[in-house]
Amino acid sequence: MADLEAAIQALTLEATKQGDSVRALKAQKAEKTLITEEVEKLKAVKAELATLMKQQADEQAAAGGGKMNKETFRKNLSSTLEQNMFYMPSFKIYGGVGGLYDYGPTGAAIKANLQAFWRQHFVLEENMLEIECPAVTPYPVLKASGHVDRFIDLMVKDVVTGACYRADHLLKDVLEAKIEETADAAGKKALELTLAHLDEFGAEELGAELKKYNTKAPETGNELSDPYPFNLMFATQIGPSGMVQGFLRPETAQGIFVNFRDLLYFNGSKLPFAAAQIGQSFRNEIAPRAGLLRVREFTQMEIEHFVDPDNKKHKKFGHVRPLTFLMYPRAQQMEASGAIELNMGQAVDEGIIANETLGYFIARTYLYLVQAGIDHKRLRFRQHLQHEMAHYACDCWDAEVQTSYGWIECVGLADRSAFDLDAHSKAAGVDLTAFQKYDKPIETDVLKVEPSMKDIGKDFGKTAAGVKAALLALSDDAKSAMAAELAAGGASKLGTEAGEVEVLAKHVTIKQVKQKISGKTFTPGVIEPSFGIGRIIYCLYEHSYYTREGDDQRSVFKFTPVTAPVKATVFPLLQKPEFEPYTQRVGDVLTRAGVARKVDETGASIGKRYARTDEIGVPFAITIDHTTFEDDTVTLRERDSMAQVRVPIADVGELLQKLCNLSATWEADVLPKYPAHGTTADQ
Amino acid sequence: MADLEAAIQALTLEATKQGDSVRALKAQKAEKTLITEEVEKLKAVKAELATLMKQQADEQAAAGGGKMNKETFRKNLSSTLEQNMFYMPSFKIYGGVGGLYDYGPTGAAIKANLQAFWRQHFVLEENMLEIECPAVTPYPVLKASGHVDRFIDLMVKDVVTGACYRADHLLKDVLEAKIEETADAAGKKALELTLAHLDEFGAEELGAELKKYNTKAPETGNELSDPYPFNLMFATQIGPSGMVQGFLRPETAQGIFVNFRDLLYFNGSKLPFAAAQIGQSFRNEIAPRAGLLRVREFTQMEIEHFVDPDNKKHKKFGHVRPLTFLMYPRAQQMEASGAIELNMGQAVDEGIIANETLGYFIARTYLYLVQAGIDHKRLRFRQHLQHEMAHYACDCWDAEVQTSYGWIECVGLADRSAFDLDAHSKAAGVDLTAFQKYDKPIETDVLKVEPSMKDIGKDFGKTAAGVKAALLALSDDAKSAMAAELAAGGASKLGTEAGEVEVLAKHVTIKQVKQKISGKTFTPGVIEPSFGIGRIIYCLYEHSYYTREGDDQRSVFKFTPVTAPVKATVFPLLQKPEFEPYTQRVGDVLTRAGVARKVDETGASIGKRYARTDEIGVPFAITIDHTTFEDDTVTLRERDSMAQVRVPIADVGELLQKLCNLSATWEADVLPKYPAHGTTADQ
């Protein structure tokens, strides 16, 4: 695998050089044949690179299983996940419902841990204002946000059965099948091009393409309707009157935006500040089919960082400036040259990342994911291409994690400018601006308009007040224009309530004066990191799963203590009353130390109980045996090394606390200090 | 207040004695006048008791405010809550929506803490299986649970405007107004009687009562419709077809019941075990108006403890047996004699609480609420009266907390028998039973049926197989009856697929044999503690709020470290760069110790910053000042005493960790050890 890595690096370098050479030739307006020749070379290098990268992706996805291939890896993983109730299809005894899954005891504990860690890492560390808003949301909020009009997917229906399909997914299946069965290179190429642009198609284009391939409903072979938009929000009625339309929120963000005014006040009217929310969001997917990765109800963790749009520096950017990790900027994507190791400071300094605040959150997200247990070698931050971004967005990056399903978007980080606050301000008729005082008042030249009411009254009579109002309401540009016209001795046209009038020099004086401005009023920009915790958890499962050397049946999750559903299990050797006081005592010691533990008092052998805790990724196990009665020590076993030591009960609480908050390690603080315990029950 | 308490106790005793005396006279069939006399005495005692208890309730509700009355207390509390963003009406800038509230930064943190503590106290401590299911729930699940048919309130509509009212609430308002304006005692009494039975009225009775008082729509004076049922579930459609009806779950419990089979298997097929869930539930209230206490979307924390219905003992009941706290059993309610201090062991032994498991959860709930910060003197467990319980329930108790709104139900604890599992088993056609192996197989006598196929074949020809099947399917009673008839030499009638036939002794032998039975199959009973966290939080606010002696403007919440939104705030004295490394260091020390902290770097005076943290109930504050630069110590201030000591930064992490997990106290472990800090910034 190291060879593969080296080969990829070499090819990447070659592709970059070759790309430079093509660009240079083009810039020099070199001969066309020469350019074509170099372009062909570039294509060849890239094709080879793509092959190697696919090979690497497959190998990495199966990394936990050593020599396992992707299918075996995924099968073993999912059967371990299901057997140990990490998740299960919701309402299974009633046949289940597509896109709805339950977290079982193991999965729910991992989710709770990741949420708590997120709260620590973001909310507390950054002094964020965490709030919690209801999922049920009235129509006007989601009308203003754009979701009522634009939160849609295109759908086609089986005209006989009424079964629904996502038009783009259906076309994708069709195209992939065609590519498979097409022999000639040009035809294949054309199909691949269509496939590549699939997500840019509107209803008409999708309809035309589906017709072109004479697409029928997959299950029945019946005719299909034309594609038409389906809004992905779950609709409901609030209250009994039938007059208050509502939806289940499609994202938690809107709850923060509508509270902006109060949050700003709560923060002492100071910017920047961030608000955060963890909660359920709902998307009524047309035909969910990607298992845990595309679901109809899921937990989001979202941050809205409000900032002066003219100053997106971040006070703590210095802390993350030295970090270097995999990024995939727009330029590299255009060349398909793969993600590159990039230094955060450099990325912002060179304008690859739009600003410090966005960069800061990208870096903090990187740290969160890696500390949670995501393999940093299979994590990249991919910049959105221009056409992927909403028109108002400045810059967007996705944290993508590599799995057996390919690269999965787990976190979106977007600089959304002032779009959301402007939309709600307009719709609700409420001021959602902030006022920023300058350090020193600024003195500027302004044009002051002084209407001469005596002459205005004489010449305009009843409409005089309207003329005055129109003069005072002039924009800066209009003031300049009028001043010039009047200075030239002419008349100037002025629109008033009562129609257009002609104004002369005697009616108004426009002059330049100095004015002190103490600050500015503006709608804050918003930088939004948005986490889909369900996807992060699935990726963690893939990155944490492995089987014991030489035994494919012994599954282990190498969860970090941060993530592990339980930090330690306590095993009394036998189901006998004399063990009970010790079991209770060890349990209490761990509780007092804040170490989440479970007691397994089943009569199974210790080896079997070890295997069981391995399968749910518990890092430490404590066994109480007959020696405990003599010397008050217990066996402590580490999951990945399977090493065992003997530790006094008096030490167990503090030791595990330190191991779990990572202020101590097994190698440095346990193995040298405590005697190894001879027989290993893992055999 | 102590005098009042004593007076109430004396009167309670007197009422009990007087009640006994009445019962004794009735039992002796004493003279009617004598009984009437004693009954009148009892009434007088109870009336006096009721007056004193109301007085006590008012005083206790305002206890935080010392001499404050109820209205002032509630006004001060709610303005402190709103100013500090404990909560706010949802979608306020759009005019808000009845029954929907947001948790602000302070409230959301408290909620997260209470949930984490609940998880520790119940899920981890009791090895419960915590799961997480979606809120969107398909129709068949809630049809089976009874919610589609029975989860209703009765509603009346303004026939002109369509405005909706809850029929019982409207009648309550009408009756209360009538009681107020009615002079004669008998009329008042009759109205009060109607009021007392309000919650037992059906649609017809409510309609008749509303008509009787000529009730009109309150806002418009328009006519009202007859009462009719409104289902309180939010309805929605799952998927785009319009063919899959769904609801937002009205409780989290059903998600657990439908997973019972898998959970039982996950638990090694062993009973008892408990599953738990924390999540949002939704009730589309007709016209919510009790502020935070009756909302349309709320978080539930529910436990379903599955148990052998013939053995509801609890392994850990011994741990809670000695606890004594306020309970309000059915008998005391019938006599309106108030809650009594009752010992848990006694309550179960005497059959006041139905079984050990229910008792165990009542006790654990008591401990949870008190450790969270609920005043144990204003907490009682009230048993449901017979008519309050569902027909299938064995016994129900509510944890009720006394507030300025009266006694608020915060937790419901119910022994629901096998109702839920039976309902889902029947509706889904899935076996939801458990098998319990006996310690030793039991040998019992059974009647064995042996058909004599030779004679059956001869006599019944083609229908012989049907006769055999019918014989083997006989119930135990039918077997006995047939055996008796045949032994008497007669014929016995037998229903078969092909009609009734007559069976003789030659056709079948029925004899008693010994059989070993290794265990039993049964539908488990369910004991359900169900927590409404929003209500608990509101009660905590009331029980934790007070103002500083002599200064009504200085509000404080005396949250325990378990509940407090933040455990410690860190204040650099000045906004100057030389403070920053210390601020960072103290922050890091606290994070490593697992102490949730906030840094307040605003330039406000320390006194002002203290007042600010008091208002959100932060127990400890740490100030970094110029002395810190010299001797590496900081000022540590305790919220309620306002006392300050000087502590080395090196000690701060461990010390606060211990103070927060309650393994150290301010009085015993801080004051004696660290030097007092002279000037108190609170002045």
> What pLDDT score was predicted for residue B615?
95
How many whole angstroms separate alpha carbon B303 and alpha carbon B119? Answer: 11
Give the chain A residue nearest B663 (alpha carbons): A592
> B346 and chain A: CB distance < 8 Å anywhere?
no
What letter represents residue A120's amino acid?
Q
- Residues 364-403, chain B: which have Cβ within 8 Å of A? none
> What pLDDT score was predicted for residue A65?
45
**pLDDT tens string A242-294:** 889 999 999 999 999 999 999 999 988 889 999 999 999 999 999 887 678 88
Omega within 30 of 0 (cis) for the link into A272:
yes
- Residues 126-145, chain A: which have Cβ within 8 Å of B? 127, 129-138, 140-141
Shortest Cα distance, chain A CAs vs residue B298, angstroms: 8
Given a contact cutoff of 8 angstroms between Cβ atoms, the answer to whether B410 and B531 are in contact is: yes
Instruction: Point out the residue among B133, B235, B296 whose CB comes nearest to the CB of A90.
Output: B133
**pLDDT tens string A37-67:** 887 887 777 777 777 776 766 666 555 444 4
Shortest Cα distance, chain A CAs vs residue B319, angstroms: 12
Give the chain A residue nearest B432 (alpha carbons): A93
Q: Which secondary structure element, helix H or strand E, spans residue A604, and what is its range?
A: none
> A91 and chain B: CB distance < 8 Å anywhere?
yes
Instruction: Indicate yes or no: CB of A135 within 8 angstroms of CB of B135.
Output: yes
pLDDT at B65 over 50: no
Residue A194: pLDDT band with limits 50, 70, 90: confident
How many whole angstroms separate alpha carbon A544 and alpha carbon B340? Answer: 54
Size of interface A-B (CB pairs under 8 A): 232
Q: Who contacts A94 (Cβ-Cβ below 8 Å, separation ≥6)? A: B138, B140, B141, B258, B427, B428
> A678 and chain B: CB distance < 8 Å anywhere?
no
Domain boundaries, given as residue ranges, for chain A: 1-61, 152-231, 441-519, 566-670
> A592 and chain B: CB distance < 8 Å anywhere?
yes
Residue A593: pLDDT band with limits 50, 70, 90: confident
Instruction: Indicate yes or no: CB of B234 within 8 angstroms of CB of A237.
Output: yes
> A82 and chain B: CB distance < 8 Å anywhere?
no
> A169 and chain B: CB distance < 8 Å anywhere?
no
Question: Hey, what are A27's tokens?
Answer: 């810039």
Please tell me the least confidently modeled range out of A139-143, A162-166, B341-345: A162-166
Mean of the per-residue pLDDT values of chain A:
90
**pLDDT tens string A645-680:** 999 999 999 999 999 988 899 999 999 999 998 765
Task: Name the residue with higher pLDDT: A71 or B173.
Answer: B173
- Residues 648-667, chain B: which have Cβ within 8 Å of A? 661, 663
Instruction: Indicate yes or no: CB of B94 within 8 angstroms of CB of A155.
Output: no
Give the chain B residue nearest A275 (alpha carbons): B105
Shortest Cα distance, chain A CAs vs residue B427, angstroms: 9
> What pLDDT score was predicted for residue A155?
93
Sign, Cα dihedral of A487, A488, A489, A493: negative
How many whole angstroms separate alpha carbon B562 and alpha carbon B559? Answer: 8
Please tell me the least confidently modeled range out of A312-316, A532-536, A671-675, B5-9: B5-9
Instruction: Indicate yes or no: CB of B240 within 8 angstroms of CB of A255.
Output: no
Question: Hey, what are A308's tokens?
Answer: 């002066």
List of chain A residues whose C-beta atoms are within 8 Å of the C-beta of residue B243: 162
**pLDDT tens string B81-111:** 999 999 999 999 999 999 999 999 999 999 9
List of chain B residues whose C-beta atoms are within 8 Å of the C-beta of residue A594: 594, 661
Residue A599: pLDDT band with limits 50, 70, 90: confident
Instruction: Indicate yes or no: CB of B127 within 8 angstroms of CB of A598.
Output: yes
> A234 and chain B: CB distance < 8 Å anywhere?
yes
Instruction: Indicate yes or no: CB of B108 within 8 angstroms of CB of A131.
Output: yes
Shortest Cα distance, chain A CAs vs residue B649, angstroms: 18
Shortest Cα distance, chain A CAs vs residue B508, angstroms: 42
**Other CB atoms within 10 A of residue B619 CB:** 25
Q: Who contacts B454 (Cβ-Cβ below 8 Å, separation ≥6)? A: none
Mean of the per-residue pLDDT values of chain B:
90
> What pLDDT score was predicted for residue B120?
87
Give the chain B residue nearest A427 (alpha carbons): B94
Helix residue ranges, H only, A213-355: 253-257, 260-266, 317-320, 330-334, 344-349
Q: Where are the beta strands (DSSP E) in A101-174?
A: 101-103, 129-130, 136-138, 152-157, 164-166
How many whole angstroms separate alpha carbon A112 and alpha carbon A133? Answer: 19
> What pLDDT score was predicted for residue A47?
72
**pLDDT tens string A454-482:** 999 999 988 898 999 999 989 888 999 99
Residue A390: pLDDT band with limits 50, 70, 90: confident
Q: Find, among A321, A357, A358, A361, the residue nearest to A342 by Cα.
A: A321
Residue B583: pLDDT band with limits 50, 70, 90: very high
pLDDT at B359 over 90: yes
Q: How large is the average pLDDT for residues B187-211? A: 88
- Residues 242-281, chain B: which have Cβ within 8 Å of A? 243-244, 246, 248, 255, 258-259, 261-263, 266, 268, 275, 280
Given a contact cutoff of 8 angstroms between Cβ atoms, the answer to whether B213 and B262 are in contact is: no
**pLDDT tens string B393-448:** 899 999 999 999 899 999 999 999 999 999 999 999 999 999 988 888 988 888 89
DSSP letters spanning A333-397: HHTT---EEEEHHHHHHTTSSS-HHHHHHHHHHHHHHHHHT--GGGEEEEEPPGGGS-TT-SEEE
- Residues 430-489, chain B: which have Cβ within 8 Å of A? 430, 432
The torsion angles phi and psi of A149, rounded to 5 degrees, stand at: -90, -30
> What pLDDT score was predicted for residue A68?
63
Residue with tokens 């979701």: A147
Shortest Cα distance, chain B CAs vs residue A84, angstroms: 7
How many whole angstroms separate alpha carbon B395 and alpha carbon B309? Answer: 13
How many whole angstroms separate alpha carbon A395 and alpha carbon A416? Answer: 8
**pLDDT tens string A549-585:** 888 889 999 999 999 999 999 999 998 999 999 999 9
pLDDT at B355 over 90: yes
Instruction: Indicate yes or no: CB of B138 within 8 angstroms of CB of A97.
Output: yes
- ipTM over 0.90 threshold: no
- Residues 17-76, chain B: which have Cβ within 8 Å of A? none
How many whole angstroms separate alpha carbon B596 and alpha carbon A120? Answer: 8
> What would the CATH number be for the domain defined by B566-670?
3.40.50.800
Question: Hey, what are A57's tokens?
Answer: 């992706």
B152-231 classified as CATH 3.60.21.10: no
- The pairs formed by B450-453 with CB atoms below 8 angstroms and a separation of 24 or more are B450/B508, B450/B509, B450/B510, B450/B511, B451/B507, B451/B508, B452/B506, B452/B507, B452/B508, B452/B509
Instruction: Indicate yes or no: CB of A248 within 8 angstroms of CB of B236.
Output: yes
Instruction: Indicate yes or no: CB of B592 within 8 angstroms of CB of A661.
Output: yes
Instruction: Point out the residue among A94, A111, A241 whose CB comes nearest to the CB of B132.
Output: A111
**pLDDT tens string B469-484:** 999 989 888 999 999 9
How many whole angstroms separate alpha carbon A561 and alpha carbon B491? Answer: 75
List of chain A residues whose C-beta atoms are within 8 Å of the C-beta of residue B97: 136, 138, 238, 244, 246
- Residues B468-506 as b or e (16 or more Cβ within 10 Å = b): bebbeebeeebbeebbebbeeeeebebebeeeebebebe
What is the separation of C-alpha A174 from the centre of its chain, rounded to a whole number of angstroms? 30
Given a contact cutoff of 8 angstroms between Cβ atoms, the answer to whether B416 and B526 are in contact is: yes
Q: Find, among B402, B390, B476, the residue nearest to B73 by Cα.
A: B402
Sign, Cα dihedral of B548, B552, B556, B558: positive
Q: Find, among B136, B140, B358, the residue nearest to B252 by Cα.
A: B136
> What pLDDT score was predicted for residue A648?
97
Distance of CA B660 to CAs A490, B268, B283, B655, Å? Answer: 80, 37, 36, 9
Instruction: Indicate yes or no: CB of B102 within 8 angstroms of CB of A131.
Output: yes
Q: Where are the beta strands (DSSP E) in B340-433?
A: 340-343, 379-383, 395-403, 406-417
Q: How large is the average pLDDT for residues B105-126? A: 92
> B602 and chain A: CB distance < 8 Å anywhere?
yes
Q: Find, among B105, B428, B464, B380, the residue nearest to B260 by Cα.
A: B428
Q: Which secondary structure element, helix H or strand E, spans residue B7, and what is its range?
A: helix B2-27
List of chain B residues whose C-beta atoms are within 8 Å of the C-beta of residue A598: 124, 127
Residue B63: pLDDT band with limits 50, 70, 90: low
Q: Who contacts B89 (Cβ-Cβ below 8 Å, separation ≥6)? A: B96, B97, B100, B101, B102
List of chain A residues whose C-beta atoms are within 8 Å of the C-beta of residue B155: 240
Give the chain B residue nearest A284 (alpha carbons): B239
Instruction: Point out the residue among A109, A428, A663 whose CB comes nearest to the CB of B592.
Output: A663
Q: Which of B93, B231, B661 to mutate to test the interface with A (most CBs of A within 10 A)?
A: B93
State which fold the B441-520 domain adopts: 3.30.720
How many whole angstroms separate alpha carbon A68 and alpha carbon B496? Answer: 60
From the options 3.40.50.1980, 1.10.357.10, 3.30.720.200, 3.40.309.10, give the CATH code of A441-519: 3.30.720.200
Give bridge partners of residue B155 from the DSSP assignment.
B166, B228
Instruction: Point out the residue among A105, A130, A138 whose CB comes nearest to the CB of B129.
Output: A105
Give bridge partners of residue B408 from the DSSP assignment.
B401
List of chain B residues whose C-beta atoms are within 8 Å of the C-beta of residue A230: 240
> A152 and chain B: CB distance < 8 Å anywhere?
no
